[in-house]
Structure 1
Amino acid sequence: MFSQSVFRTLLSLSLSLVASPLLADTVWLKNGDRLTGTIKFFDGNKLLLQTDYGGAIPLAWSKVKTLESDRELLVKEDDTTGERAKSLRAGEEGQVVLVNGEAPRTVELASISQIMKPKPVVEDLTWRGNIDAAFDFKRSESDTDDYDLDLKTQARHGRWRHNATAGYNRELSDHVVTTDNWDAEYALDRFLDEHWFWQGRLEYKRDKVEDLERQRTVGTGPGYQFWDDELGAFSVAGLVNRTDYEYANGDESNFYAISGKWDYNRYLLGKAVEFFTTGEVGKPLDNVAEYTFDAEVGLRYKVTDWASLNMKAEKDLVSGGDSESELDETRYSLGFGVGW
């Protein structure tokens, strides 16, 4: 009895060890190299292969001979035509075989525009985010210190998505504070289907230097998720908001407004570079101001799987109101960050 138990244990272990390499995706290159790992995505130029021995490796598509995978992958030959292949089988040079339960179909690698893992409508908990920091110190006839810190994180579970952002900026000129503000926002999305969602959000801004000391906004409205996959994401939302202003002289004002928000990011060059932009344009309903505009745009360059360099520009504008509510700030920053 003991010997049979030991034999079964050893047999199971042996089979698992033998089968493990089969679970890995394989890429053959035209120079004869053979690489194993997990195919993350392909987007017309670079195939990103995640490996245990070298991290994420971008491979030039023109150098790929063929490839195979036992996982389900979405293979697109143009912007509208795509096939969810249950597996990929190696073919002749410059070809791959799509296996989908019917007759396998051979396609030319040159005809493929994208390969990525299909994303289900409802997922288990996923969490991602990044922290960007920038510091600038200048020592001359006029000493300046500039500190900038930004946090953005997102968690998704089933049809619920939690979005949180926070930022802090402080500048000193000859030890005199010229800028000192911070802001935070939380938004909760409830997905109605694969694309449409309903959002509720809370936002707070605090400025210790400008006349407009505090801004509080509560809003709700529909949104639409155009895509959210390995290559990036793009969503928009239209909100009805209630905003309260508090000024340094003690005055207060509040108004209702409609606004449009966007959140876009796109990975380039085998996910080595990320372009991103977020923002909101609003129109008060009682003509306190002609419009409000708050946006950022920038680039991140990944140094490692978790560390990056970043460059961005931010604009905060309140236009058309009285002199107390006017605001026009533009900031540029260059720094480093971490992501997960």
Structure 2
Amino acid sequence: MFPKALLCVAATCAMSNAFADTVWLKNGDRITGTIKVFDGGKLMVDTAYGGSIPVDMKQVKTLETDQPLLVRQDAYDSEMAKALKPADDGKVILANGDAPKTVELASIQQLMKPKPLVQDLSWKGNIDAALDFKRAETDTDDYNLAFKTTARHGRWRHTADGEYNRETEDGVTGTDNWGLEYSLDRFITDQWFWQGRLNYKHDNIEDIRRQRTVGTGPGYQFWDDELGAFSLGGLLNRTDYTFSDGRKENFYSMAVKWDYNRYLVGKTVEFFTTGELGRPLSNVADYNLDAEVGLRYKVTEWASLNLKYEKDLITGTTNGNDLDSSRYTAGFGVTW
């Protein structure tokens, strides 16, 4: 019985190794696990012993996987490979039935699991919620709900985000606002893109009750991979203000917009900041700032804790109805 048990264990281990993806490095090391994605020069491999490991593709000798992957060798064309088989140094074999093809690893720009409908669709996002209820001499209720999602297909990228804030103290509402934004990016090269966006904010408390901004302009993507992303954009905006007394103002402005996030400690901690700094082309206001910065800690693969600081500032308005709002939130959320 004992030898048979050992034989079963050995067979199970052999089967598990057979189904594992393998990455051979130029220094002679070997990594086994599951290939998740290759993008931005980094090959992400999920391992049972070290979690998600980013590997510089320049250090990869060859690799092997039995899972179907979408292989992109330029910005426009991609093909489905039923499996990847090891080849000579710096090469890999795309196994497609009776027509295998050997390609240079350096020619591959992206590897990803195909999606059911749009095969090269990449979709990610998060929802963060913060709630605070206090019952004492002063009763306070605080709510904050925010979301952001990004989908990319080929040369197009869609980004949508929104936020809702409400604070009450002894039944008196001191904060009550919400905002939505949608932007569409068309990549001209792998880094340069042109963006169009629409932003709307509504506030039931502040003097500036409604803000609507339509903008367009160029942007540059410094990187976008499994470890994070960073982009900068310059926008020409048309903004419309509606004040609490019913007056309306509109103006054009130039703005710089940024979007940065970076994963640390083995993708457990995420640092992120987004925002926009603008200056009107007329004397309606000095400048406006809408920004946030925060940390997100992943408790599980999908659940996270978050800590954020938000700043909304409009100074130098002609009628003196400036806006200066700061907010700290801590809560929980989900990511995908």
Using the size of structure 1 for normalisation, the TM-score is 0.72
For 2:142, the equivalent position in structure 1 comes to: 146
What is the one-letter code of the residue matched to 2:243?
Y
Using the size of structure 2 for normalisation, the TM-score is 0.73
For 2:207, the equivalent position in structure 1 comes to: 211
Runs of 4+ off more than 6 Å: 17-20, 86-89
Separation (CA, whole Å) in 1 of partners of 2:46 and 2:248: 54
1:87–1:100 CA contact under 8 A, matched in 2: no
Separation (CA, whole Å) in 1 of partners of 2:237 and 2:195: 12
2:44–2:54 CA contact under 8 A, matched in 1: no
1:301–1:308 CA contact under 8 A, matched in 2: yes
What is the one-letter code of the residue matched to 2:316?
G
Following superposition, the deviation at residue 88 of structure 1 comes to 8.2
Q: Deviations over 1:34-63 (max 9, x none)?
A: 96333768xxxxx97425xx69825799xx
Q: Deviations over 1:74-115 (max 9, x none)?
A: xxxxxxxxxxxx9889xxxxxxxx92149xxxxxxxxxxxxx
Structure 2 residue 261 is the aligned partner of structure 1 residue 260: no
1:44-83 → structure 2 map (5 Å cutoff): 49-50=45-46, 57=51, 69-70=63-64
Query: What's the secondary structure of 2:18's corresponding residue?
Result: helix
For 2:33, the equivalent position in structure 1 comes to: 36
What is the one-letter code of the residue matched to 1:57?
G
For 2:173, the equivalent position in structure 1 comes to: 177
What is the one-letter code of the residue matched to 1:119?
Q
Structure-2 change in CA distance of 1:317 and 1:88 (3 Å): farther
Separation (CA, whole Å) in 2 of partners of 1:55 and 1:142: 51
Structure-2 change in CA distance of 1:60 and 1:184 (3 Å): closer
Q: Select the residue among 62, 67, 90 that pairs with 1:100.
A: 90
For 1:119, the equivalent position in structure 2 comes to: 110
Following superposition, the deviation at residue 24 of structure 1 comes to 1.3
1:279–1:295 CA contact under 8 A, matched in 2: yes
Q: Deviations over 1:157-187 (max 9, x none)?
A: 1111101010000000011111000000000
Separation (CA, whole Å) in 2 of partners of 1:197 and 1:178: 40
Structure 1: any 5+ residue segments left out of the alignment?
1-16, 29-33, 42-46, 73-85, 90-97, 103-116
Separation (CA, whole Å) in 2 of partners of 1:101 and 1:202: 45
Structure-2 change in CA distance of 1:193 and 1:58 (3 Å): closer
Structure 2 residue 274 is the aligned partner of structure 1 residue 278: yes
Structure 2 residue 306 is the aligned partner of structure 1 residue 310: yes
What is the one-letter code of the residue matched to 2:206?
E
Separation (CA, whole Å) in 2 of partners of 1:244 and 1:155: 28
Aligned-CA RMSD value: 3.5
Structure 2 residue 181 is the aligned partner of structure 1 residue 190: no
Q: Identity, % of aligned pairs?
A: 56
Separation (CA, whole Å) in 2 of partners of 1:39 and 1:126: 13
Separation (CA, whole Å) in 2 of partners of 1:279 and 1:118: 29
Separation (CA, whole Å) in 2 of partners of 1:252 and 1:167: 24
Separation (CA, whole Å) in 2 of partners of 1:58 and 1:226: 23
Equivalenced residues, count: 275
Following superposition, the deviation at residue 141 of structure 1 comes to 1.4
